[in-house]
Amino acid sequence: MHSSLLNGLTSAQLLAFRVIATSIIIVFAGAIMGKKEGGSHQSTLDRLNNQVFIPCLIFFSLNRIPLFLSEALLMCGCAVIYSLSSYPLARWWKGRTSENDISTYVPLLFSSTSTLLLPLSYLLFGSQGLAKATFFHLTNQFLLDTWGMRCVGQPSRLGKFLKSPALHAALLALILKLTIEFEPSLQIRELLWLVEKGIGMMANGAIPILFISYGYSLSSMRLHGAGLWSPVAAIRMLWLPLVAAVLIWILRATGYASMEKGYDLLRYLDLRTTESIMLLASALPCVCWFSADYTPTRRASTLTISSALLSMIAIAILVYIINRHIF
């Protein structure tokens, strides 16, 4: 039995690393596309992601799993803690330059959740993983549109967040899940099945597009003269996984989660996925952020690209740790 368990663990690790390798290849493909096209279609990809692919992916996953308010709040709190933990680092990095470069606040405080965390969570942990990552993503986006805008001297974009298709998709899935208790007729069931099937196809198609879009964004930054190395990116990539490890230890030390690795079908099955998403989110690179009124400086773009390169290594290491010490 020990041998079969070991073989199962090895198979899971191989599958996880195959997913990571495939994701990296697609990101690089998007970077090559962006370089050849000069980044001219960046806004088009952003609109497709924000208005079509991400909402379909979120609705499809939230509509398929049971709801646990405590874990949703845990993921929201985790996003807040990661941003607050990065704030001293952002202040220090701002003080390292004589220029008034406030633009580094944004990439240091927030992560690229939509283009990396959502598809990776779905590929590694299915609908359950994506549902948990959705709450982290929405909280991260809320902080970016409010606190992040204030950090660069611009008014809050709370109204834009409230109009976000991703938020609407999550709310619609939750409302349908909580309110529909009647048994529909055969015709309505068939119609709902066709709608769900179509949304599911769009959700599956979203995954490569999100990775391509991320590579495309990095290539656009590189074309504007950004470098490949930033020391603060390396510090951030070491600091946030440490914060995640402390949070997981607190969950286990307080009895909220089991101290032992592996599944506990009576209570802790879902929390293992939550811990895994917390670790994955800590290794995400800085957010690739463009807006009509704001273009990141070369220093901020270098920070983003450097964190992206380091993130590929960090995510692979953390996936190994997840397979070894959590599941």
Break the chain into its structural domains and give their ranges.
Answer: 2-326
Q: Report percent pLDDT > 90 for the chain.
A: 11
Question: What does R_g of the chain's alpha carbons equal in angstroms?
Answer: 20
Please state which of the ranges 4-8, 57-61, 214-218, 273-277 shows the lowest mean pLDDT: 4-8
State pLDDT tens for residues 225-275.
Answer: 667 788 888 999 999 999 999 998 898 888 777 766 666 555 555 788 888
pLDDT at 6: 43
Q: Which residues contact 99 (CB under 8 A, 6 or more apart)?
A: none
Please choose, from the candidates 309, 118, 93, 155, the residue with its C-alpha nearest in 3D space to the C-alpha of residue 221.
Answer: 309
Please choose, from the candidates 120, 78, 107, the residue with its C-alpha nearest in 3D space to the C-alpha of residue 316.
Answer: 120
C-alpha 276/C-alpha 319 separation (Å) is: 8
Give the global pTM. Answer: 0.81
DSSP β-bridge partners for residue 111: 286
pLDDT at 5: 39
State pLDDT tens for residues 219-228.
Answer: 766 656 667 7
State pLDDT tens for residues 67-105.
Answer: 677 888 899 999 999 999 998 888 888 777 655 556 677
Q: How confident is the model at residue 9 (pLDDT cuts 50, 70, 90)?
A: very low
pLDDT at 80: 94
pLDDT at 138: 92
- Token couple for 150: 């204030």
2-326 fold: Na+/H+ antiporter like fold (1.20.1530)
Cβ-contact 258, 264 below 8 angstroms: yes
- What's 111's DSSP letter? B
C-alpha 279/C-alpha 271 separation (Å) is: 12
DSSP β-bridge partners for residue 177: none
CB atoms within 10 A of CB 227: 14
CA atoms lying within 13 Å on the CB side of residue 160: 13
* Torsion 317-318-322-324 (CA) sign: positive
Residues in the chain: 327
Q: Which residues contact 63 (CB under 8 A, 6 or more apart)?
A: 173, 176, 177, 196
- Token couple for 2: 């020990």
C-alpha 26/C-alpha 47 separation (Å) is: 19
DSSP β-bridge partners for residue 291: 294
